[in-house]
Amino acid sequence: MSPSLDLLHAAPLALPDHVRLGRDSGVLGTIDDPAVTLAIWERASPLPRPDLAEFPALRFAADAGSVAAKVRAALADAVPQDWHDGLARDVETLARLYATLTGEDRVEVRIERVTGNGCWKFHADYVALRMITTYCGQATQWLPHGADPQSPPRALAPGDVGLFKGRERAGDRAIIHRSPPIAGSGEDRLLLVIDTEWPDRG
């Protein structure tokens, strides 16, 4: 059997005990299990592969129910794109879900086109819970507990929604992850990060 066929028929990697994976958003609720540090909602990206050349970096705090309006307002001066409204609606859907899971009414939203190697080193976030999705391009990479940082990482797929438990809730067991290093490749990514509102916001 050729190497390519060996790879094709290889058994899938076992899912670590501290990670939950599901095709319904309900899987994200498993993050409340003390043993779970990463919950992944598998889904296809709701956006087409857009041209991100003129996409501005967006960052704001808002009530979860007003996130779509905030995204639309922030994009009002950008060149109109058919997918902007779909993006606004999906970000609000995820913000509402995050607010329900955390019990926080207000959220911090960051949406940006990534072309370089920001956050390319493996790390754990100094937050309680962080929601991450990559609408297009390579998605966030993560390591099982105890894995050698030099070992091949696992990765979310574009569209997947990951709920990452940080050091505030998991201490030394917080999930280790990074942004895929893409500098010089010509690739880009559209990244969404949702947190609870940062304390310096007034």
CA separation, residue 118 to residues 115, 186, 190 (Å): 9, 15, 13
pTM, to two decimals: 0.90
Q: What's the rounded Cα separation, in Å, for the pair 183 and 138?
A: 12
State yes or no: pLDDT of 199 exceeds 80. Answer: no
- Least reliable range by pLDDT among 29-38, 70-79, 110-119: 110-119
What percentage of the chain exceeds 70 in pLDDT?
92
**Encoded tokens for 24:** 């319904």
Q: pLDDT of 42-84, one tens digit each?
A: 999 999 888 898 899 999 999 999 999 999 999 999 999 999 9
**Encoded tokens for 85:** 């409204």
- For 175, phi then psi, to 5°, come to -65, 135
Region 126-143 average pLDDT: 96
Asked: is 17-196 a CATH 2.60.120 domain? The reply is: yes
State yes or no: pLDDT of 181 exceeds 80. Answer: yes
Angle between helices 84-102 and 67-74 (to 10 degrees): 140
- pLDDT (0 to 100) of residue 5: 39
CB atoms within 10 A of CB 198: 11
Q: What's the rounded Cα separation, in Å, for the pair 124 and 172?
A: 9
